Amino acid sequence: MAIVLSVNGADRAIEADAEMPLLWALRDILGLTGTKFGCGAGICGACTVHLDGRAARACQVPIGDLAGVAVTTIEGLGTAEAPHPVQRAWIEEQVAQCGYCQPGQIMAAAALLANNPAPSDDDIVAAMDGHICRCATYPRIRSAVRAAAAAMRGA
């Protein structure tokens, strides 16, 4: 039986086991590969998406639990023509090295700023500390979050 997911504002019917983690439904079935597989165990944050606006780890959420939940992925956050302010800050600060962790980092930052427009350093750490960046782009991540917060407050 098909499971209907609301992804980036559109309903998508998925033929898959209800236990399948959202991560794999997005990547392998819907072809939304911007959400990354890093650890599969809720540790690294690479798979972070928004569920009803809150950051969540897609590798830990079975699709069967998502009835009526709005899923937003990095593809739904912004586009090349209309990037989200967090994406714009990430590009301006040239944060990414390999970039593989960055969709997850960006989704975490976007969720943080949606709820807390002026986060303190501690707030940023609390929201982002569980996100592994093997390239250690952390200093630029920190500046990009601050820059995005300032831009969003000014807008």
Partner 1 sequence: MGRTGRILRRTFLIGTAAVAGGVAFGVWAVRRDPANPLLPGLPVGAAAITPFVRIDAAGVTLIAPRAEVGQGIAHAQAMMIAEELDIGLDQVAIDPGPPAPAYWNGRVAAEGLPFAAIDDGMMARGARAAGDAVSKLLGIQITGGSTSVPDMFDRLRAAGAVARETLKAAASRETGVPVAQLGTAGGAVILPDGRALPYTALAAAAAATPPAGPVPLRPPEAWRLIGRSIPRADIARKSLGTEIYGIDLRLPGMVFATARTNPRLGGPVNGMDAAAAEAMPGVLRVVPLPGGAAVIARDTWTAFRAAGAIAFDWGAAPFPATQAGLWRTIADSFTDERRDSRLRDDGDAAAAATAAAAGAVTAEYRAPYLAHAPLEPMNATALWRDGWLDIWTGTQIPRFVQSNVERVHGIPSERVRVHQMPSGGSFGRRLEDDYVQQAVAVARAMEGTPVKLTWTREEDFAHDFPRPAAIARGRGAVADGRVTALELAIAAPSVAESQIARLGLPAAGPDIAIVAGAWDQPYAIPHYRVTGHRAPAAVPVSSWRSVGASHNGFFHESFLDELIHAAGADPLAERIRLCSHAPSRRVLEAAGAMAGWAGPRPAPGVGRGVAFTLSFGVPVAEIVEVADTPGGLRLTGVWVAAEVGRVIDPAGAEAQATGGVLWGLGHAMHAEITYEGGAAEQTNFHAFGGLRLSEVPPVQVRLLETDALRGLGEPTVPPAAAALANAIFAATGQRIREMPLVRHVRFA
Residue ranges that bind partner 1, judged by CB under 8 A? 16-17, 20-21, 23-24, 27-29, 31, 33-41, 43-44, 46, 73-75, 77-80, 83, 87, 90-91, 94-103, 106, 124-125, 128-142
The vertex-139 CA angle with 135 and 142, nearest 5°, equals: 115
SS3 labels along 22-65: HHHHHHHHCCCCCCCCCCCCCCCCCCEEEECCEEEEHHHCEHHH
Contact 5/63 with Cβ under 8 angstroms?
A: yes
Length of the chain: 155
Q: Would you state the structure tokens that stand for residue 62, as one six-digit string?
A: 């079975």
Site string for ligand FES, 101-120 (x = CB under 6 A): xx------------------
- 57 touches which of partner 1, ligand FES, none (CB within 5 to 8 A by kind)? ligand FES
Least separation in angstroms between CB 103 and ligand FES: 10
Please say which residue, 11 or 139, places its beta carbon nearer to ligand FES: 139
DSSP-derived 3-state class of residue 70: strand
The yes or no reply on residue 97 touching ligand FES (CB under 6 A) is yes
**Interface residues with ligand FES (CB under 6 A)?**
37-40, 42-47, 57, 59, 96-102, 133-135, 137
